[in-house]
Chain A
Amino acid sequence: MDILRFATAGSVDDGKSTLIGRLLFDSKSIFEDQLASVERTSRDRGENYTNLALLTDGLRAEREQGITIDVAYRYFATPKRKFIIADTPGHIQYTRNMVTGASTADLAIVLVDARNGLTEQSRRHAFLATLLRVPHLVLAVNKMDLVDYKADAFERIVDEFSAFATKLEIGDLTFIPISALHGDNVVDRSPNMPWHDGTSLLHHLERVHIASDRNLIDVRFPVQYVIRPHQATDKALHDYRGYAGQVAGGVLKQGDEVMHLPSGLTTTVERIDTAAGPVDEAYPPMSVTLVLADDLDISRGDMICRPHNQPSASQDIEAMVCWMSDGRALTKGSRLVVKHTTRTVKAVVRDLQYRLDVNTLHRDENAERLGLNDIGRISLRTTLPIFHDPYGRNRQTGGLILIDEVTNATVGAGMITESH
């Protein structure tokens, strides 16, 4: 059994909470006491059906206001897979939540109300999923019951979205007509829509192939922590020096020649230790400890790669950023802290090339600032080189976060495009 992480996005009232409630309910992940509590609340509110959407309402403020305000994570499993849902709310002001949820997602579901067709927000959600390089996208056309399960309502949306999708780099796109409320095409194929020749949503989630979404070609091992037991009594341990970290790309093998950055020195992988003992190979997202043949001066923030396949090492970084602070704007000259893989450095914004209108994809080159939920392209100059790849090639070595030096808040997320 493996894990599929997916994010859900939709405008308010498109039926996102109902869909998640339905997936949890139909996969038998809802416990009796949770259901009883939801039934009680539905009754108290005077609703005449059990509102499955209540299952996913987390915090008190949300229950009181009846809205979802922050990313929440849900879990369910079928015999085929374990699923982690990043439930991201769809309000205009919450681009930041969608970006957060999408950053780790293998798949994104964008919900559309069959009656309304594509909205500005559906386009925005699809764009954000592709900006974050979520490899698989599902456009779920919901509330099909309200358009009498007619094929033409669905097909109009498919055509409209397909035209828009040519402007985006979407890896894998699937359209599914559903009714979250009644369960059509959610778990089982719906008899109400015989004209649809695809699978149900859950069937798709269970089968979609994600193993090759990882980069298994470019070996990237950001050194996270150095393990030195210092136990003079045990001879075997006395000289042990292991470099611990999570493999960010490629397949590392025992006996491989590897290069250390920033030194550029090469050595050989003597051993790969894991929680389960030594292994022959390590690949993403394994957490391992490398023992190298030669004594090099290696510390946290360094990178191990193959001599003929190195990441870029540079202090000049170009990135698309999503700005997440409501207190402070990003402008030319902004000073920030950058965390990239295991390296944290200071940086200054050299330039703001443009701000992107996520609805029209128009680039405003006269923009002088990025405010909360704005997306734009910037140049950064860092105090030390960072070892990176374009985000499109590797999400681990291409992603970075921006931190405010004074408030310590996380104020932005960056996807590296290319460097000079």
Chain B
Amino acid sequence: MVTMRPDYLLSQLDVLEAESIHVMREVASEFERPVLLFSGGKDSIVMLALAERAFAPAHIPFPVMHIDTGHNFPEVINFRDRRVAEAGARLIVASVQESIDSGRVAEETGRWASRNRLQITTLLDAITGHRFDAVFGGARRDEEKARAKERVFSFRDEFGQWDPKNQRPELWNLYNTRINREEHLRVFPISNWTELDIWDYIARENLEIPSIYFAHTRQVFERDGILLSDGPFMNRGDDEPIFEASVRYRTVGDMTCTGAVASTASTVAEVITEVAATRVTERGQTRADDRASEAAMEDRKREGYF
């Protein structure tokens, strides 16, 4: 006899974790060549931790891939190498510099030059080259309007394109994983997590994160209301004076378009307090790439962006 107890309750993190693990196992079961995208950012850190937990005590049954813009925070690259090795996974690095050198893409010029958009070609070339059929991404639906409508298993045609008006209905936890050759699926196991859930999970599981997520002193300058780190690829103008500030990052990406926020938070708990009180979205505050137009993300996603 089952005795009914009122406490067969799960917290929101337990439910989200169970759902994400289910998605990862589904992919490992139904695809030949999955890959997990890993940037060293907090969302991919949670993804890697979930993958370890989904397949323990075995190793993660797929490789991990970083799309390297060459404009990285060095702390993040060190962290990436160490963490992926620790997880016993194979690391693939696909380099935007190589895409430029081989003439697949041309470097943007001017003050707003960024390699953010160039990543699309590098990513799609890597998917084709390695014949990946399922690509795990760490996108969350709370991040941005276009993401709010994307499926957990999101179909991409042979050109890597997303068609928002022609998506597969997704019911219960039953995911349609069928594709033809050359097509692939982008899979987003943490679709239903919010930024705060990510931080709560990092705290609960005591996950290590790169130092740039904590407050540190840095030489920065302001561009269009965003605090950017000074560096060789920044094309900083004379009207953009450098100053020193105590900052932390809310996302890590290409240095040229990832902004810092003023902060004094030096522990995960302090970061959570700041995040909970923040009145500006993560992307709006710190990503110059999403400011270009109201539909910036949707346009990039259609072409094959993360």
Chain A residues with CB under 8 Å of chain B are 1-3, 31-34, 37, 41, 57-61, 63, 69-75, 77, 82, 84, 96-97, 99-100, 103-104, 211-212, 214, 216-217, 224-225, 227-230, 237, 240, 242, 244-246, 250-251, 273, 275, 283, 285-287, 289, 300, 324, 337, 339-342, 395-396, 399-401, 403, 408-410, 413
Pair B169/A413 contact, Cβ less than 8 Å: yes
Pair B284/A227 contact, Cβ less than 8 Å: no
Pair A70/B281 contact, Cβ less than 8 Å: no
Least CB distance from B198 to A in Å reads 12
Least CB distance from A226 to B in Å reads 9
CA distance A269 to B194 in the complex (A): 35
Binds A, one of B52-60, B79-87, B115-123, B256-264: B52-60
Neighbouring A residues of B25 by C-beta, 8 Å: 224-225, 244-245, 287
Pair B174/A339 contact, Cβ less than 8 Å: yes
Is B6 interfacial (CB 8 A cutoff)?
Answer: yes
Pair A1/B142 contact, Cβ less than 8 Å: no
Neighbouring B residues of A96 by C-beta, 8 Å: 169
Neighbouring A residues of B29 by C-beta, 8 Å: 224-225, 300, 342
Per-residue CB proximity of B151-171 to A under 8 Å, as 1/0?
Answer: 000000000000011011111
Tell me how many residues of B have a C-beta within 8 Å of chain A: 63
Is B285 interfacial (CB 8 A cutoff)?
Answer: yes
Pair B11/A410 contact, Cβ less than 8 Å: no
Least CB distance from B68 to A in Å reads 29
Neighbouring A residues of B180 by C-beta, 8 Å: 408
Pair B19/A70 contact, Cβ less than 8 Å: no
Q: Give the contacting residue for A71; candidates B149, B175, B285; CB below 8 A.
A: B149
What are 26 residue pairs bridging A and B, where the CB atoms are less than 8 Å apart in the complex? A1-B12, A3-B16, A41-B294, A59-B149, A70-B164, A73-B148, A75-B192, A77-B196, A100-B169, A103-B172, A211-B6, A211-B9, A216-B2, A224-B22, A246-B173, A251-B8, A275-B21, A275-B50, A275-B56, A287-B17, A287-B25, A340-B174, A342-B26, A395-B172, A399-B172, A400-B174
CA distance A172 to B29 in the complex (A): 38
Q: Give the contacting residue for A58; candidates B148, B169, B174, B278; CB below 8 A.
A: B148
Q: Give the contacting residue for A73; candidates B55, B167, B191, B278; CB below 8 A.
A: B191
Is B145 interfacial (CB 8 A cutoff)?
Answer: yes
Known interface pairs A287-B17, A408-B180; 15 further A-B residue pairs with C-beta atoms within 8 A, sorted by A's residue number:
A3-B16, A31-B278, A59-B149, A63-B295, A75-B142, A96-B169, A104-B171, A211-B9, A216-B2, A216-B4, A227-B56, A240-B57, A251-B2, A275-B17, A401-B174
Name the residue of chain A whose CB is nearest to the CB of B20.
A287
| Contact count A vs B, C-beta below 8 Å | 178
* Residue of B2, B4, B179, B196 ringed by the most chain A CB atoms within 10 A: B2
Pair A413/B171 contact, Cβ less than 8 Å: yes
Name the residue of chain B whose CB is nearest to the CB of A28.
B279
With A84-B192, A396-B172 as contacts: A34 and B281 at CB distance below 8 Å:
yes
Pair A286/B55 contact, Cβ less than 8 Å: no
Is B125 interfacial (CB 8 A cutoff)?
Answer: no
Residues facing A in B25-83 (CB within 8 A) are 25-26, 28-29, 50, 53-59
CA distance A224 to B26 in the complex (A): 7
Neighbouring A residues of B278 by C-beta, 8 Å: 31
Name the residue of chain B whose CB is nearest to the CB of A210.
B9
With A59-B298, A217-B2, A300-B29 as contacts: A287 and B54 at CB distance below 8 Å:
yes
Least CB distance from B189 to A in Å reads 11
Neighbouring A residues of B93 by C-beta, 8 Å: none
Chain B residues with CB under 8 Å of chain A are 2, 4, 6, 8-12, 14-19, 21-22, 25-26, 28-29, 50, 53-59, 141-142, 145-146, 148-149, 164-165, 167-176, 178-180, 191-192, 194, 196-197, 278-281, 284-285, 294-295, 298
Pair A60/B295 contact, Cβ less than 8 Å: yes
With A72-B149, A227-B58, A400-B174 as contacts: A287 and B18 at CB distance below 8 Å:
yes
Pair B18/A285 contact, Cβ less than 8 Å: yes
Least CB distance from B168 to A in Å reads 4
CA distance A225 to B24 in the complex (A): 10
Q: Give the contacting residue for B12; candidates A82, A250, A337, A396; CB below 8 A.
A: A82
Neighbouring B residues of A286 by C-beta, 8 Å: 10, 14, 18
Least CB distance from A412 to B in Å reads 9
CA distance A368 to B28 in the complex (A): 40
Neighbouring B residues of A283 by C-beta, 8 Å: 8
Least CB distance from B88 to A in Å reads 10
Pair B192/A73 contact, Cβ less than 8 Å: yes
Pair B58/A69 contact, Cβ less than 8 Å: no
Pair A58/B12 contact, Cβ less than 8 Å: no
Q: Give the contacting residue for B15; candidates A2, A41, A275, A340; CB below 8 A.
A: A2
With A229-B57, A229-B58, A408-B179 as contacts: A285 and B172 at CB distance below 8 Å:
no
Name the residue of chain A whose CB is nearest to the CB of B153.
A410
Q: Give the contacting residue for A33; candidates B15, B165, B175, B285; CB below 8 A.
A: B285
Neighbouring A residues of B176 by C-beta, 8 Å: 339, 401, 403, 408-410
Neighbouring A residues of B174 by C-beta, 8 Å: 339-341, 399-401
Least CB distance from B55 to A in Å reads 6
Neighbouring B residues of A31 by C-beta, 8 Å: 278-281, 284
Neighbouring A residues of B295 by C-beta, 8 Å: 60, 63
Name the residue of chain B whose CB is nearest to the CB of A62.
B149
Least CB distance from A121 to B in Å reads 20
Pair B168/A409 contact, Cβ less than 8 Å: yes
Neighbouring B residues of A395 by C-beta, 8 Å: 172
Neighbouring B residues of A97 by C-beta, 8 Å: 169
Least CB distance from B111 to A in Å reads 22
Q: Give the contacting residue for A275; candidates B2, B53, B196; CB below 8 A.
A: B53
Pair A285/B10 contact, Cβ less than 8 Å: yes
Neighbouring A residues of B168 by C-beta, 8 Å: 409-410
With A77-B196, A273-B56 as contacts: A337 and B178 at CB distance below 8 Å:
yes
CA distance A275 to B207 in the complex (A): 13
Neighbouring B residues of A41 by C-beta, 8 Å: 294
Name the residue of chain B whose CB is nearest to the CB of A87.
B148
CA distance A228 to B15 in the complex (A): 25
Pair A246/B18 contact, Cβ less than 8 Å: yes
Neighbouring A residues of B21 by C-beta, 8 Å: 246, 275, 287
Neighbouring B residues of A224 by C-beta, 8 Å: 22, 25-26, 29
